[in-house]
């Protein structure tokens, strides 16, 4: 039976994509006559934003969003990387689990998708009353690693991949065809999971390029220019926002520093959340008051979702130093951490940074190293945090949490 669906349509005259509402058997893409796209965007905004406007301007905690099919469960989540989700990740005072899903696993062959791992994880978290955060991973960090499909290669794809400082292979997303293939994947994921109540959020990996391609171009790789790279990042964010209208979407951003103001302004304008892989409460370029990404979180609080991670290296200065040294070794330098830096940072300091400086709605804690993760579990069980479903994080729904411009 036909149902009222949100359809993405391509105008025949101006080639402009727009979201409309139409009686249609299923979600699809099709061509339509030229229309007033401004009016269409207004209708789309009404469809997804009126639930927020009706409730005195800002939705609070989890009082209403589920009624409209929106997913909003702010708080603390377990980050498992690519590790299989186990019972130990579905206990304690966590709202759910964040897991990485490599592009190469999701699209093993061109145009052929395998979402079975996500489906299994949804079943697992749903049975435990938890939420799942998908991180669609196209970046790699280990020597020889590649998380993009094998078909992305050759001149048609601008070389497909480039070599990073860590010896991994990352996609040339500023190539138009590479970007288009990633957009099609995001669209397919949206059709499959945007309406799934257990899928809380979708994350794109960090914006750091990981290679000095401007100074050291690589043979066979399409020339890198910062404006082209920024445009490609924006295009991927917009594709994700359109694919997941009822789901929180977050772009991890950390570098290039010269592009951060422009990227975060785009996030604000288009309802894309800001996040990052490192909540690190020690001196770092991320905290630079003039150029670091941390300074750009608070201005977005209450406007778009904010969600970032405490990954393994963030638990101690020594671990962070070793991670930085891993990249430096590939460039011919090295450094060893001091003995006192092996002591773990008290996890309350991570929480303080997350709450007071970054104003986070979501905090993703790495399950590894296990000893550090146990300290997180103990902290979240303390009375002042355990009584709050959001664990002390900002719980009000941002005004643009679910609206694509």
Res. 405: pLDDT tops 70:
no
Q: What is the DSSP letter of 351?
A: H
Query: What is the token pair recorded at 266?
Result: 């785009």
d(CA 261, CA 263): 6
The answer to whether 393 and 75 are in contact (CB under 8 A) is yes
Confidence at residue 378, expressed as pLDDT on a 0 to 100 scale: 98
Q: Tell me what the mean pLDDT of segment 5-19 comes to.
A: 37
- Stronger pLDDT, 53 or 317, i.e. the higher one: 317
pLDDT in tens, 319-349: 999 887 655 444 444 557 777 789 999 999 9
Confidence at residue 323, expressed as pLDDT on a 0 to 100 scale: 84
Go through the domains of the chain in sequence order and give each one's CATH number: 1-62 (no CATH), 69-386 (3.20.20.80)
Least confident of 33-47, 64-78, 244-258: 33-47
Q: Tell me what the mean pLDDT of segment 14-24 comes to.
A: 35
Confidence at residue 64, expressed as pLDDT on a 0 to 100 scale: 56
Confidence of residue 61 (pLDDT cuts 50, 70, 90): low
Query: What is the token pair recorded at 119?
Result: 């489906």
pLDDT in tens, 80-103: 999 999 999 999 999 999 999 999
Q: Tell me what the mean pLDDT of segment 26-42 comes to.
A: 38
Helix axes 226-243, 260-270, angle to 10 degrees: 20
Sign of the torsion angle spanned by Cα atoms 264, 99, 347, 313: negative
Least confident of 34-48, 147-161, 297-311, 381-395: 34-48
Res. 19: pLDDT tops 50:
no
Confidence at residue 337, expressed as pLDDT on a 0 to 100 scale: 73
Q: Report residue 19 CA to chain centroid gap.
A: 22
pLDDT in tens, 195-232: 999 999 999 999 999 999 999 999 999 999 999 999 99
Helix H or strand E encompassing 227: helix 226-243
The answer to whether 301 and 394 are in contact (CB under 8 A) is yes
Helices (H) and strands (E) in the chain, counts: 10, 13
Confidence at residue 225, expressed as pLDDT on a 0 to 100 scale: 98
d(CA 324, CA 380): 29
Q: Tell me what the mean pLDDT of segment 117-125 comes to.
A: 98
pTM over 0.75: yes
Phi, psi for residue 294 in degrees, rounded to 5: -60, -35
Q: Give, in order, the Cα–Cα distances in Å from 154 to each of 10, 159, 219, 220, 282.
A: 29, 5, 11, 8, 42
- Phi-psi group of 337: left, alpha or beta (phi > 0 → left; psi -120 to 50 → alpha; rest → beta): beta
Confidence of residue 69 (pLDDT cuts 50, 70, 90): confident
| Other beta carbons within 10 Å of 261 | 12
- Stronger pLDDT, 58 or 265, i.e. the higher one: 265
Confidence at residue 341, expressed as pLDDT on a 0 to 100 scale: 82
Res. 306: pLDDT tops 90:
yes
């Amino acid at each position: 039976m036909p149902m009222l669906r949100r359809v993405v349509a391509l105008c025949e005259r101006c080639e402009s994509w727009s979201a409309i509402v139409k009686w249609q058997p299923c979600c699809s893409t099709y061509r339509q006559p030229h229309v007033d796209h401004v009016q269409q965007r207004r209708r789309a905004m009404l469809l997804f934003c009126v639930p927020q406007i009706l409730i005195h301007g800002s939705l609070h905690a989890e009082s209403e969003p589920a009624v409209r099919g929106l997913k909003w469960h702010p708080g603390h989540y377990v980050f498992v990387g690519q590790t299989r989700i186990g019972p130990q990740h579905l206990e304690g005072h966590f709202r759910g689990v964040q897991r990485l899903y490599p592009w190469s696993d999701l699209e093993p062959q061109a145009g052929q998708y395998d979402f079975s791992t996500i489906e299994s994880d949804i079943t697992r978290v749903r049975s435990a009353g938890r939420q799942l955060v998908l991180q669609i991973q196209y970046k790699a960090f280990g020597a020889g690693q590649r998380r993009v499909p094998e078909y992305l290669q050759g001149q048609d794809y601008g070389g497909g991949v480039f070599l990073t400082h860590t010896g991994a292979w990352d996609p040339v997303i500023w190539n138009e065809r590479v970007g288009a293939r990633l957009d099609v994947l995001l669209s397919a994921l949206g059709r499959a999971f945007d309406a799934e109540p257990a899928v809380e959020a979708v994350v794109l990996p960090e914006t750091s390029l990981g290679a000095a391609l401007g100074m050291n171009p690589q043979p066979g790789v399409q020339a890198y220019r910062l404006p082209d790279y920024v445009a490609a990042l924006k295009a991927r964010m917009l594709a994700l926002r359109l694919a997941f209208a009822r789901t929180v979407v977050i772009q991890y951003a950390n570098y290039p520093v010269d592009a951060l103001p422009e990227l975060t302004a785009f996030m604000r304008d288009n309802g894309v959340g800001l996040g990052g892989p490192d909540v690190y409460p020690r001196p770092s370029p991320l905290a630079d008051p003039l150029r670091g990404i941390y300074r750009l979180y608070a201005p977005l609080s209450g406007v778009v979702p904010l969600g970032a991670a405490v990954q393994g290296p963030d638990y101690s200065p020594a671990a962070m130093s070793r991670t930085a040294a891993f990249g430096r070794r590939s460039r011919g330098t090295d450094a060893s951490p001091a003995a006192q830096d092996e002591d773990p940072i008290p996890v309350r300091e991570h929480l303080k940074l997350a709450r007071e400086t970054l104003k986070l709605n979501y905090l993703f804690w790495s399950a590894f190293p296990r000893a550090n993760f146990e300290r997180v579990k103990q902290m979240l069980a303390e009375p002042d945090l355990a009584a709050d479903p959001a664990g002390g994080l900002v719980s009000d729904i941002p005004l643009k949490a679910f609206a694509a411009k």
